[in-house]
Structure formats: structure tokens, C-alpha cells
């Protein structure tokens, strides 16, 4: 794991330190770590959000998914309670932006997120969290409180030997993403209380 650059980043939620992490995957943009660890007790569990890039949600404010709402929630939470956001460049659950837009087109015709990916011959969730273990090791983090509803992330972290002390749920639904969240809950086992 290589840190390519770092700086302060003032945001509308407060000040973070941002780190550009070398990305050895297909995307050439760096992964980003947003940290607010000032004054943290090294023995306490660190609040952690692992966020996979979602251009349509994070940048264009799409409400087809809950990505931006979850990112905003995590930024606010970590400003208040300290912690780390790891922003990974794996758009569309790892299928890339063009394929995600193709899948959206199929969803416009009534398929759900899983059926659309399958119709395109793509994985339902092709994300990889191996860099997360290296980033956490760099920051000497072994115990976390995970801001997530995703059982695959919990499993991936546990397999890396990271201890999950607590899970902070993010239940953010609107009429436009209700069906999307239902699919996450019913077909992907997400821990959502809808
Ligand atoms: Zn999204």
C-alpha cells in the first residue's frame, strides 16, 4: 500500500485529512482515505465506512441508490465521533460506470439490480476489499465500528482479522430507491430495517 499524496480537506461537514492511495486495479484514479483521527484514544474501536465509488450518486446526487446518503451520513458521523472513510474506486459494485449505466437501462424496463447485471453477463457484486486490510494496517487499526448494512463487507473484514466491535446501520430510503433497497435486503442479505 502506497500513499501518493496527502492534504487537509475542509468539507461542508468539517475538516478531514485526505490521503491518495495507489490503486493497482483497472481504474487509474487513486483510492481516497478521509480521516478524522485527531485526539483519538489508540485503544478504542475506530469508526469506519468503506465506500465504493458511485459517480451517479456521490457526484450527480442520484436517488436511484443510497450511496450518497450513506457517504454523507458517514462524513457527519465521523466528524462527530472520529474515524475513517475509505473511498474505493470500484464503481457500480465493481462493474464500472458504463456497465452500470447499461444495467440502469435494463432497470428502466423493470429488471432489478441483480437481474440486470445477470442479463449483461456481469457479476452481481464484484467488489474486492483486499486494499482495506493494508490501509487499516498502515493506520494501526485492529478494532472497528463498521458503518454499513452489508454482510459481505463484514465477512471480508473478519477474514482479514479485523475485529468488528459494533455496527452502525445506515437506513436511508426514499420512494425512488425503495425497490433498490428491497433487492439489497431480500436478495443480497443486507441488514436493512425497511
Ligand atoms: Zn450508488
Which residues neighbour 43 within 8 Å (Cβ) at sequence distance 6 or greater? none
Residue tagged active-site, from 127, 166, 167, 193: 127
pLDDT at position 95 is 84
pLDDT at position 181 is 77
Greater pLDDT, 65 or 125: 65
CATH 3.40.50.10990 given to domain 3-90+127-188: yes
pTM: 0.89
Residues above pLDDT 90, as percent of the chain: 65
Region 159-178 average pLDDT: 84
Instruction: Give the model's confidence band at 50: pLDDT under 50 very low, under 70 low, under 90 confident, else very high.
Output: very high
For residue 39, the CA-to-ligand 1 centroid distance in Å is 32
Greater pLDDT, 42 or 84: 84
Classify strands 3-11 and 14-21 as parallel, antiparallel or unpaired.
antiparallel
For residue 68, the CA-to-ligand 1 centroid distance in Å is 7
Instruction: Give the model's confidence band at 76: pLDDT under 50 very low, under 70 low, under 90 confident, else very high.
Output: very high
Cα angle at 44 between 43 and 48, to 5 degrees?
130
For 85-129, what is each residue's pLDDT tens digit? 999 998 877 788 999 999 999 999 999 988 999 999 998 877 778
Q: Is 166 a catalytic residue?
A: no
pLDDT at position 111 is 93
Rounded to an integer, what distance in angstroms lies between the CA atom of residue 162 and that of residue 165? Answer: 9
For residue 64, the CA-to-ligand 1 centroid distance in Å is 7
Whose cell is 484514544? That residue is: 41
Region 55-71 average pLDDT: 94
Residue tagged active-site, from 112, 125, 126, 167: 125
Which residues neighbour 50 within 8 Å (Cβ) at sequence distance 6 or greater? 85, 86, 88, 129, 132, 146, 148, 153
Q: How far is CA 178 from CA 83, 112, 125, 163, 188, in A?
A: 29, 12, 19, 31, 15
pLDDT at position 178 is 76
Q: In angstroms, what is the C-alpha Rg of the chain?
A: 16
pLDDT at position 161 is 93
Contact 114, 93 (CB under 8 A): no
For residue 162, the CA-to-ligand 1 centroid distance in Å is 26
pLDDT at position 190 is 82
Structural domain boundaries of the chain?
A: 3-90+127-188
Instruction: Give the model's confidence band at 79: pLDDT under 50 very low, under 70 low, under 90 confident, else very high.
Output: very high
pLDDT at position 194 is 67
Rounded to an integer, what distance in angstroms lies between the CA atom of residue 34 and that of residue 29? Answer: 15
Which phi and psi angles does 89 have, rounded to 5°?
-85, 75
Q: Is 49 a catalytic residue?
A: no
Of residues 57, 184, 170, the one with CA closest to residue 124: 184
- Is pLDDT above 80 for 33? yes
For residue 57, the CA-to-ligand 1 centroid distance in Å is 5
Between 75-84, 96-105, 125-134, the lowest mean confidence (pLDDT) is in 125-134
Rounded to an integer, what distance in angstroms lies between the CA atom of residue 60 and that of residue 35? Answer: 24
Contact 171, 184 (CB under 8 A): no
Which phi and psi angles does 122 have, rounded to 5°?
-110, 160
Amino acid at each position: 500500500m502506497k500513499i501518493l499524496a496527502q492534504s487537509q480537506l475542509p468539507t461542508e461537514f468539517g475538516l478531514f485529512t485526505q490521503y491518495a492511495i495507489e490503486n493497482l486495479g483497472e481504474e487509474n484514479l487513486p483510492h481516497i482515505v478521509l480521516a478524522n483521527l485527531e485526539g483519538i484514544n489508540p485503544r478504542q474501536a475506530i469508526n469506519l465506512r468503506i465506500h465504493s465509488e458511485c459517480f451517479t450518486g456521490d457526484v450527480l446526487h442520484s436517488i436511484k441508490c443510497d450511496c450518497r446518503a450513506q457517504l454523507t451520513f458517514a462524513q457527519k458521523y465521523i466528524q462527530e465521533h472520529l474515524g475513517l472513510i475509505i473511498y474505493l474506486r470500484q464503481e457500480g459494485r465493481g462493474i464500472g460506470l458504463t456497465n452500470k449505466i447499461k444495467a440502469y437501462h435494463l432497470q428502466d424496463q423493470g429488471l432489478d439490480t441483480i437481474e440486470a447485471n445477470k442479463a449483461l453477463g456481469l457479476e452481481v457484486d464484484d467488489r474486492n476489499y483486499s486494499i482495506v486490510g493494508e490501509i487499516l494496517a498502515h493506520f494501526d487499526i485492529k478494532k472497528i465500528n463498521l458503518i454499513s448494512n452489508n454482510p459481505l463487507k463484514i465477512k471480508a473484514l473478519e477474514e482479514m482479522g479485523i475485529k468488528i466491535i459494533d455496527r452502525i446501520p445506515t437506513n436511508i430510503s426514499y420512494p425512488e430507491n425503495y425497490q433498490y433497497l428491497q433487492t439489497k435486503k431480500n436478495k443480497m442479505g443486507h441488514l436493512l430495517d425497511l
